[in-house]
Structure 1
């Protein structure tokens, strides 16, 4: 018997719940919930368009410092189209780059992957607290990655 384990939610550490909510709604993400349970617990959940996974933030959800989540990946079919969409919404997004991702940014090269390889082109942006997002262009999935 195979048990399915679906990753559906990640919690983001934020300093100002209403500011974060407004930011992610500006991205065009669907507001799924805003539950003010009591003074010490509030849960806000949003989902990016086309995603099965969501983010949550609020009050009383995590002890992680605001802005400490990094390299949260959003997979897109067309990196430039996604960049243009974010820019049109007033979001500061980096230019496209390719190369290895990670803490060592010296391997990054300007522009999308010159060979157009799937999984090789990126852009990045942050939310108001500094939580870091990566856009990654995937045009052809690796086997068994549906």
Structure 2
């Protein structure tokens, strides 16, 4: 049986600011729906991903700026250029034995690491 992660909540203080940031990075805004007063559901999907994030009002009790997410990309240098072209502060590429990494944060300080690896084990 497959287990697929499909949605990760990301705590934010300003939903519209966060939505604009993630769209600027290249995420697709799949849904933006106010279910009722106190519950707004905004689903955003990174390019090429089967897993989305959700931001909004009434989504999570986590403190904004505490989420950490790692994403696999094909090319760390290209990912960094894409972030810089979108005026997002991104780290230099960090080379490790298990991949090349680029780091950035959203306006609330939630942290993202982008990992480019040469190959993944089949499993």
- Coarse TM-score class (shorter-chain normalised): over 0.9
3-state SS of 1:20 partner: helix
Written as runs of structure 1 = structure 2, the 5 A alignment for 1:46-65 is: 46-65=44-63
CA RMSD of aligned residues (A): 1.1
Question: Are residues 1:75 and 2:72 paired?
Answer: yes
Question: 2-side partners of 1:5 and 1:136: how far apart?
Answer: 22
Deviation for aligned residue 1:4: 2.4
Unaligned runs of 5+ residues in structure 1 are: 100-116
TM-score of the pair, normalised by structure 1? 0.81
TM-score of the pair, normalised by structure 2? 0.95
Q: Which runs of 4+ in 1 moved over 4 A?
A: none
Partner residue in 2 for 1:109 = none
2:90 is aligned, of 89, 93, 96, to 93
3-state SS of 2:102 partner: strand
Written as runs of structure 1 = structure 2, the 5 A alignment for 1:19-34 is: 19-34=17-32
Larger radius of gyration: 1
Q: Number of matched residues?
A: 123
Do 2:104 and 2:113's aligned partners in 1 also have CA atoms closer than 8 Å? yes
3-state SS of 2:77 partner: helix
Unaligned runs of 5+ residues in structure 2 are: none
